[in-house]
A and B are shown apart, each in its own frame.
Chain A
Amino acid sequence: GAVVSQHPSRVICKSGTSVKIECRSLDFQATTMFWYRQFPKQSLMLMATSNEGSKATYEQGVEKDKFLINHASLTLSTLTVTSAHPEDSSFYICSARTRQGANSPLHFGNGTRLTVT
């Protein structure tokens, strides 16, 4: 089945620093990847849609200058949290859809738990 790999699984950083999270589709090409954020005891919230070779589309309320998304290839998208603050501490999850069929499901990575101290 389709596998999406996310790295790192956990990261702790100091306030004001930047953190990069990688999302890779291991056995398929993903023209579109998605980034979600999940706070404790809440559901996943879509942050942005990442399209290969073009700018990401951000959801309302998500700062594009703070959450930089790069989708340089069909198998890799990165999310950089710039100038991180404690309120950015969250569980970040990426997903991707295979090209096969408009109804094909999204496949998710195992998430990255970011803690900003």
Chain B
Amino acid sequence: QEQLVQSETEVKKPGASVKVSCKASGYAFSGYYMNWVRQAPGQGLEWMGWINPNTGGTHFAQRFQGRVTVTADTSMDTAYMDLDNLRPGDTAIYYCARFRGYSSGGIFSWYFDLWGRGTLITVSS
């Protein structure tokens, strides 16, 4: 059974850092890009970035560049997301989500086909 198991809820103070883990099982971890998506309380989904576990290559939404680091340990089938200099506005559920590619009408694209259950990060003084 394919699944993504994320680390537990954390409470952090402003200015601190947090590391969220996402352990994959049931499929070839290195073969699929992994994304991070967050959702603030009562708000919508916000894409943060992705990692190619095979190469370590990453790409992030501009608003997170310089503050987020995503790594992958292929020996542990686990992806990690580090977010630095936390602010109260970073309070959210952080999801990891696997990319699956597809081709339709000659256009190649991606969708998020497998999601973790989310990790709640609360930033409060």
Q: Note whether A and B form a binding pair.
A: no
